[in-house]
Structure 1
Amino acid sequence: MTEIPDPTRGRPAGVLLAGIDRRAKEGFTGVLRADGPVSGIVVLREGKVVAAATPEAPGPEPLLLRSGRVAEADWTAAFAEGAPHGRLAEALVAHGALGALGVEVVAATALADAVFALALRGVQTCVAAPLDAAETGPLLFLDPGLAADDVVREAQRRLAMAAEWQERGLTSTAVPASAAAGSATDPLLAAVNGRRNVRGLAFALGRGLFATMRSLADLMDAGAVTVSAEPGQAGPPTSQDAPHEPAPPEGLPKRLRGASDVIRVLPFRPDR
Structure 2
Amino acid sequence: MTIRSHDSARPVPPAARNVPALLLALRRAGFTGSVTVSSAPGGTIHLEQGLVTAIETPGAPTAETLLLKSRRVGEADWAAAETAAATARAGDAPGPWGGGLGAALVAQGSIGATELETVCAAAVFDGAFALVLSPPGSWQVAEAAAPAGIALRPGIEPQRLFEETAQRVALLTRLWGPPGELARTRIRPAAQAESRALRIPDRYREILIAATGRRTARDIGFALGRGLFAVLLDLARMDARHLLHREPARPAAGVPGVAPRTPPSGPPPAGTGPLPRRTPGVRGPGGQSGPGGQGSLGGPARPGGPAAVSDEPPNGHRAERTETTENTEKSAP
TM category (shorter chain) comes to 0.7 to 0.9
The answer to whether structure 1 residue 267 and structure 2 residue 305 are counterparts is: no
Determine if contact 1:151/1:268 at 8 Å carries over to the other structure: no
Distance of 1:93 and 1:37 partners within structure 2? 34
Question: What is the number of equivalent residue pairs in this alignment?
Answer: 228
Aligned residue in 1 for 2:66: 63
Distance of 1:57 and 1:177 partners within structure 2? 20
The answer to whether structure 1 residue 108 and structure 2 residue 165 are counterparts is: no
Determine if contact 2:118/2:327 at 8 Å carries over to the other structure: no
Aligned residue in 1 for 2:282: none
Aligned residue in 1 for 2:291: none
CA-CA distance at 1:268 after TM superposition: 6.1
**Structure (1/2) with the larger helix percentage:** 1
3-state SS of paired residue (2:136)? coil
Aligned residue in 2 for 1:251: none
Determine if contact 1:150/1:268 at 8 Å carries over to the other structure: no
Alignment equivalent of 2:216, drawn from 194, 197, 202 = 197
Q: Which moved more, 1:68-77 or 1:17-26?
A: 17-26
CA-CA distance at 1:111 after TM superposition: 0.8
The answer to whether structure 1 residue 212 and structure 2 residue 215 are counterparts is: no
Closer, same or farther: CA 102–218 of 1 in aligned 2, 3 Å = same
Determine if contact 1:15/1:124 at 8 Å carries over to the other structure: no
1:75-224 matches, within 5 Å, as 75-82=78-85, 85=89, 86-132=99-145, 135=146, 137-164=147-174, 165-167=176-178, 170-179=181-190, 180-182=192-194, 185=202, 186-224=205-243
Distance of 1:74 and 1:158 partners within structure 2? 33
**Which has the higher Rg, Structure 1 or Structure 2?**
2
Alignment equivalent of 1:26, drawn from 29, 34, 51 = 29
3-state SS of paired residue (1:44)? strand
CA-CA distance at 1:174 after TM superposition: 1.3
Instruction: Give unpaired runs (5+ residues) of structure 2.
Output: 8-16, 90-98, 197-201, 251-321
Closer, same or farther: CA 220–62 of 1 in aligned 2, 3 Å = same
Q: Give the percent of matched residue pairs that are identical in Structure 1 and Structure 2.
A: 33
Instruction: Give unpaired runs (5+ residues) of structure 1.
Output: 6-13, 232-264
Aligned residue in 2 for 1:10: none
Distance of 2:25 and 2:180 partners within structure 1? 33
Per-residue CA deviation, residues 199-236 of structure 1 (Å, 9 max, x unaligned), is 110000000011111111110011101323345xxxxx
Per-residue CA deviation, residues 111-131 of structure 1 (Å, 9 max, x unaligned), is 111111112123211222203
Determine if contact 1:39/1:118 at 8 Å carries over to the other structure: yes
Determine if contact 1:108/1:266 at 8 Å carries over to the other structure: no
Closer, same or farther: CA 221–99 of 1 in aligned 2, 3 Å = same
Closer, same or farther: CA 190–128 of 1 in aligned 2, 3 Å = same
CA-CA distance at 1:19 after TM superposition: 2.4
CA-CA distance at 1:189 after TM superposition: 2.0
TM-score (norm: length of structure 1) = 0.75
Determine if contact 1:43/1:49 at 8 Å carries over to the other structure: yes
Determine if contact 1:65/1:206 at 8 Å carries over to the other structure: yes
Distance of 1:33 and 1:21 partners within structure 2? 15
Closer, same or farther: CA 125–270 of 1 in aligned 2, 3 Å = same
Per-residue CA deviation, residues 123-152 of structure 1 (Å, 9 max, x unaligned), is 2112222033xx3x4221122111111011
Distance of 1:56 and 1:81 partners within structure 2? 29
Q: Which moved more, 1:170-179 or 1:107-116?
A: 170-179
Which amino acid counterpart does residue 158 of structure 1 have in structure 2? Answer: R
3-state SS of paired residue (2:212)? coil
3-state SS of paired residue (1:98)? coil
CA-CA distance at 1:100 after TM superposition: 1.0
Closer, same or farther: CA 188–123 of 1 in aligned 2, 3 Å = same
Distance of 2:70 and 2:137 partners within structure 1? 32
Aligned residue in 2 for 1:8: none
Determine if contact 2:36/2:140 at 8 Å carries over to the other structure: yes
Determine if contact 1:116/1:158 at 8 Å carries over to the other structure: yes
Per-residue CA deviation, residues 170-222 of structure 1 (Å, 9 max, x unaligned), is 43221011112247732112222212111110000000011111111110011
Closer, same or farther: CA 147–67 of 1 in aligned 2, 3 Å = same
3-state SS of paired residue (1:96)? coil
Closer, same or farther: CA 207–87 of 1 in aligned 2, 3 Å = same
